[in-house]
Structure 1
Amino acid sequence: MGVQQYIQNTASVDTSISIPRRYAWLVFALTFGLLISDYMSRQVLNAVFPLLKAEWVLSDSQLGLLSGIVALMVGLLSLPLSLLADRFGRIKSLTLMAVLWSLATLGCAIAESYQQMLVARFIVGVGEAAYGSVGMAVIVAVFPREMRATLTSAFMAGGVFGAVLGMALGGLMAEHFGWRWAFGGMAIFGLILAIIYPLIVKEKRVSPARLTDVADKARIKAQRPLRSLYSSHSVISAYIGSGLQLFVGGTVIVWMPSYLNRYYGMSTDKAGAMAAVIVLCGAVGTILCGMLCDRLGREHPDRKISLAIVYCLVSCGLLLLAFTLPVGSAQLVLICLGAFIVFGSNGPATAMVANLTHYSVHATAFATLTLANNLLGLALGPLVIGKVSDVIGLHNAFQLMPLVSIISAAVFFYAKSHYHHDIKRLNVQKVV
C-alpha cells in the first residue's frame, strides 16, 4: 500500500450518508455564524484599545494581557473540553460555549475596572476554548469526505472574518455610542445565535451511525491511534510551525488598530475599519492559499509543506519591508499584502496534521493544533509585542515581529525532511 492509498484510506469513513445536503448547509451556516460570533467577541477588544488605555491609564502590556488571556485559555482548555464534548454531545456543548462567551462579553461591557475586565475576558476564553475543534468536527460529519478540505479551510477563515467584523463594527459602535456598547452589541448577537442553534441543529441528525463495521475493524486494527498525535517528528513540527507563524498573524490582528491610531492619527472607528480591511485581506488570502495548496499538493502531499515554507518567508519579507517604510499609502499596501500571505500556512499545517494522525483521533488532533496555535501564537504574540512596545515603542516592536516567521519556516523545513518517513511508518502501523 502506497502513501497516497494510505491517505485515502484514513479518510474513508463518510459519516454524512443520509444527511440531506440542504440541511448540511444549514448546519454549516449556523456553525459558521457562531464561529464569527466567537471571534467578534474576542477581537472587539482590539478596536477599543485606545479608549481603554486613556480611560483606565493602562500600559501596552496590560492591554496585551486582556487580549492574550483569551487565547491562553483557548490553548489550555481546547483539548480537554473537546474530549468532553465528544462524550456528552457536541451540539449541547457548542450551545453552552456560545452562551458562556456571550454572557462574559456582556460582563466586559459593564466592567468598572481593569481587574473586572480581566476576569470577564478570562471567562470569554473558557467559553471559546473548544469551539473551533468541536465546530470543525460537526462540519466534517455532515459533508462528504471529498468536500472536507475546502469546507475546513472556509471554516477556519471564518475566524478571520469574525475578527474583521468585530474590529470594524466594534470601532464604529465605540466611536458613536461608547466602548461599552461595542461589547454589548457582540454579546447580543452571540446570545441570539445560541438560542437558535439547538432549535435547528439536532444531535441525532448530525451524528448518524457511529462508524461502519469496516471502520470499526480498522480502528481495532490500528495500534494505539492516540500515539499518532505526538509520535512523529513531522506532526510535532506542524504544531510548532503553525503556532509560530500565528505569532505574527495574531499580533497583526490585535495591535493594528492601535498602530493606526498612534502613527496615522486615525480615530477609533477609522482605525477599526482600516484594520478590518487588512485582516480581511488575511481572510481572503487564507482561502486562496488553501485552494492553491490543495491543487498543487493533490498528487504530491509534501508540496503543501513547501508552500507553507514559502508563505512564511514571503510574509516575513513583505512585513519587514512594510515596517521599515514611513507611514503612508505604500506602507499600508505592503501590510495588506503581508496579511494576505501571513495566514497561508494554516491550510498546509492542518493537512499535515490530518495526514499524520489516525482518522479516529482527528478531532483531538485538531484540538492539539489549536492548543499550539494559541499558546505559541495568538496568546504569546500580542503579549510579547505589548511588552516590547512598552520598552521601544509599537513601531519598533513591529519591525522585530516578522522575524518569527523565519523560525516557523525552519520548523516546517525540518518537518518536510521527515514527512515521507513518518507517513510510511504510520502506514505500517495501520496495516499490521
Structure 2
Amino acid sequence: MTDTDVAPAVPARPPKAPSRSRRRAWSVTALLVVFMMINFADKSVLGLAADPIREDLGLSASAFGLANSAFFLLFSLCGAAVGLLADRVRPKWLLLTMAVLWSVSQAPLALGGGLAALIASRIVLGAAEGPAFPVAQQATLSWFPNHRRNLPGALIVMGTTFGVVLAAPAVTWLVEHHGWRSAFAAVAVVGVLWAALWVVLGAEGPYAADPAAASPDVPATGTAPRRVPYRRILGTRTWIGSTAAYFSSYWVAAFVLVWLPSYLQEGLGYSSASSARLLVLVWGLTAAVILGQAALTGWLMRRGATSRWARGRVGGILLLVAASACLALPSAPSGTATVLLLVTGFGFAGAMVSVAVTTVTEMAPAERRGGALGFMNAVVTTAGLIAPVLVGHLVDLHGPSGYDQAVLITGALLLMGGIAAVTLIDPRRDGHLLSL
C-alpha cells in the first residue's frame, strides 16, 4: 500500500468557508452570546436585589448565602450529565430545553413566595443553567476550525459579562420602581423570547464531528479515530491545569455575582448607585480583557506559537496579575488605589474561562468534547456552591472585615490557578498522547 492509498483524515488547513456559511456561523454565535447574556442576567438578579430580598424575607447573610449556594446544588451534576448527553444529542435541542426551564423556574419568585420558594427556584434554575456554558461553547465552536476559535470562544464568555453589564442598571431600576419580584419576571420573559428565536435560527456547524477541527497541532493519521476513555482525558496535565485555573476564575465570578454589591456598600462604604457603576466597570474590564486575550492568542497562534504559550501562559499570567491585585486590596488605602485593585483583581480573572474551554476543545477528540467540557464545568462550578456560603459565614462572624478575608482567599486561589495554567497546560503534547 502506498501513501496515496490512504486519504488524510483532515487537511492541514481547512478550505475557506463560503460567505453564506461564514454569515451563518456569526449569526449563530451572536444568538449564543445573547443566550449567555440571559444566563448571567438570571444569575445576577439575586445579588443585585440582595438588600431588598434580605429585608423583605428577613434573611441573615449566612441564610442569603445558602440560598445562593442552592443554585449550585445540581449545577455541577447536571453540567457533567448534559455534557455527556451533548456527545449524543444535538446541542440545539439541549440549549432550547435549558432556556425554557430558566424561564419556568423564575415564575415562583415573580408571583410570590418566601425562602422555601427562593431556594427551590434557584435549585431548578441551577440545574437548567449548569450545562449552558459548555454546550453553548460546543455549539459555537462547531462553526469554526481550531485556528479561528479564539474570537468566537471569547465572545461567548463576553456574553456573560454583557449580561451583567446590562442587567445591573435594568434590574436596579426595576427593583427601585417595581419591587424585586419584577426583576425575576423580566428575565423570564426574555428567556422565552430567546427560545422562540433559537427554534428558527439555531443549528450546529460543519466542524461538529471532525477529529481535530483541522488543528495544525494534531496530526492526521489516516485511520478512524479510537474512542478515548474519559479517564484518560481527565488525567492529562492540560485538563487538570485548565480546570484548576478555571476554578479560580469561577470563584471570582460567584463572589462578584452574589457578594460584590454588598461588599461595595457594606465593606467599602459606596452608595447603591456608585456600587452599580463599579459593578459595570468590573464586568466591562472583564469583557475588554477577554477580547484582548483572544486577539493576542490569535495573533500568537497565527505566527506559529503553540497553545502552551498562546493560551496557557497568556491566561495564566492574567490570573497572576489578578491574584496580586486581590492580595493587595485589603491593605490598600481607600480611594483610587482601592478601585484600581478591585477592578483589576476581579476584572482580569475572567479571561481564563475562554482559555480553558478552547484549550480542552483543542485537545479532546471530537466525540469526547462534550463530556470533557461537561466534567470540567462540573468541577469548576463547585466554586459557586462554596463561595457564597463561605463569604456569608465570614461576614456573619466578622462583620464588614469578613469581606477582606474573603478577598484574600480569592487571591490565594487565583495564585494557585495561575501557576497551574502556566506550568501544566500543553494541548499539543496531551493531544498527541491521547492519539497513541
Q: Above 0.5 in TM-score?
A: yes
RMSD (Å), alpha carbons:
3.2
Match of 2:332 in 1: 325
CA separation of 1:356/1:72 partners in 2, compared to 1, >3 Å: closer, same or farther? farther
Is 1:308 the equivalent of 2:315?
A: yes
CA separation of 1:84/1:255 partners in 2, compared to 1, >3 Å: closer, same or farther? same
Q: Answer yes or no: is the 8 Å Cα contact 2:252–2:346 preserved in 1.
A: no
How many angstroms apart in 2 are the aligned matches of 1:182 and 1:105?
10
Q: TM-score, normalised by structure 1?
A: 0.85
Instruction: Return 116-125 or 334-343, whichever deviates more.
Output: 334-343
Return the offset for 1:118.
Answer: 0.7
Return the offset for 1:326.
Answer: 5.0
String of CA shifts for 1:209-242, please: whole Å, max 9, x gaps. Answer: 8559x99986744362534421223422321232
Q: Answer yes or no: is the 8 Å Cα contact 2:47–2:259 preserved in 1.
A: yes
CA separation of 1:357/1:163 partners in 2, compared to 1, >3 Å: closer, same or farther? same
Match of 2:239 in 1: 235
String of CA shifts for 1:83-140, please: whole Å, max 9, x gaps. Answer: 3244333222211110111121232222321111110111111121212111112111
- The letter of the residue matching 2:162 is F
String of CA shifts for 1:3-45, please: whole Å, max 9, x gaps. Answer: xxxxx97997899779622222221222221211111111111
CA separation of 1:219/1:392 partners in 2, compared to 1, >3 Å: closer, same or farther? farther
How many angstroms apart in 1 are the aligned matches of 2:271 and 2:421?
44
- Structure 1's consecutive aligned runs of 4 or more residues displaced over 4 angstroms after TM superposition are 8-19, 205-212, 214-219, 263-270, 414-420
CA separation of 1:227/1:17 partners in 2, compared to 1, >3 Å: closer, same or farther? farther
How many angstroms apart in 1 are the aligned matches of 2:359 and 2:30?
26
Match of 1:427 among 421, 427, 432: 432
Is 1:299 the equivalent of 2:282?
A: no
Q: Answer yes or no: is the 8 Å Cα contact 1:74–1:128 preserved in 2.
A: yes
Match of 2:399 in 1: 393
CA separation of 1:19/1:182 partners in 2, compared to 1, >3 Å: closer, same or farther? same
CA separation of 1:295/1:70 partners in 2, compared to 1, >3 Å: closer, same or farther? farther
1:5-404 superposed matches below 5 A = 20-201=21-202, 203=203, 206=205, 210-211=209-210, 220-222=224-226, 224-263=228-267, 268=272, 270-296=274-300, 298-303=304-309, 304-375=311-382, 377-404=383-410
Return the offset for 1:66.
Answer: 2.4
- In percent, how many aligned pairs have the same letter? 21
Q: Answer yes or no: is the 8 Å Cα contact 2:70–2:122 preserved in 1.
A: yes
String of CA shifts for 1:321-361, please: whole Å, max 9, x gaps. Answer: 33323543432232122233122322333344234433332
String of CA shifts for 1:378-421, please: whole Å, max 9, x gaps. Answer: 3322221121111112443334434444344345535655556x
- The letter of the residue matching 2:187 is M
How many angstroms apart in 1 are the aligned matches of 2:392 and 2:161?
21
Return the offset for 1:206.
Answer: 4.3
CA separation of 1:73/1:280 partners in 2, compared to 1, >3 Å: closer, same or farther? farther
- The letter of the residue matching 1:406 is A
Match of 1:4 in 2: none
**Structure with greater helix percent:** 1
How many angstroms apart in 2 are the aligned matches of 1:103 and 1:223?
37
How many angstroms apart in 1 are the aligned matches of 2:366 and 2:330?
42
Q: Answer yes or no: is the 8 Å Cα contact 1:234–1:416 preserved in 2.
A: no
How many angstroms apart in 2 are the aligned matches of 1:14 and 1:379?
44
- The letter of the residue matching 1:168 is P
Instruction: Return 109-118 or 140-149, whichever deviates more.
Output: 140-149
How many angstroms apart in 2 are the aligned matches of 1:398 and 1:310?
24
Match of 1:3 in 2: none
How many angstroms apart in 2 are the aligned matches of 1:428 and 1:123?
39
CA separation of 1:198/1:16 partners in 2, compared to 1, >3 Å: closer, same or farther? farther
How many angstroms apart in 2 are the aligned matches of 1:217 and 1:44?
49
- The letter of the residue matching 2:199 is P
* Long gaps (5+) in structure 2: 1-8, 215-219
3-state SS of 2:71 partner: helix
How many angstroms apart in 1 are the aligned matches of 2:274 and 2:362?
43
Q: Answer yes or no: is the 8 Å Cα contact 1:14–1:144 preserved in 2.
A: no
Return the offset for 1:82.
Answer: 2.6
- The letter of the residue matching 1:177 is H
Q: Answer yes or no: is the 8 Å Cα contact 1:172–1:269 preserved in 2.
A: no
Q: Answer yes or no: is the 8 Å Cα contact 2:316–2:420 preserved in 1.
A: no
Return the offset for 1:179.
Answer: 0.5
Match of 2:217 in 1: none
CA separation of 1:269/1:188 partners in 2, compared to 1, >3 Å: closer, same or farther? farther
Q: Answer yes or no: is the 8 Å Cα contact 1:286–1:340 preserved in 2.
A: no
3-state SS of 1:53 partner: helix
How many angstroms apart in 1 are the aligned matches of 2:12 and 2:374?
18
Aligned residues: 419
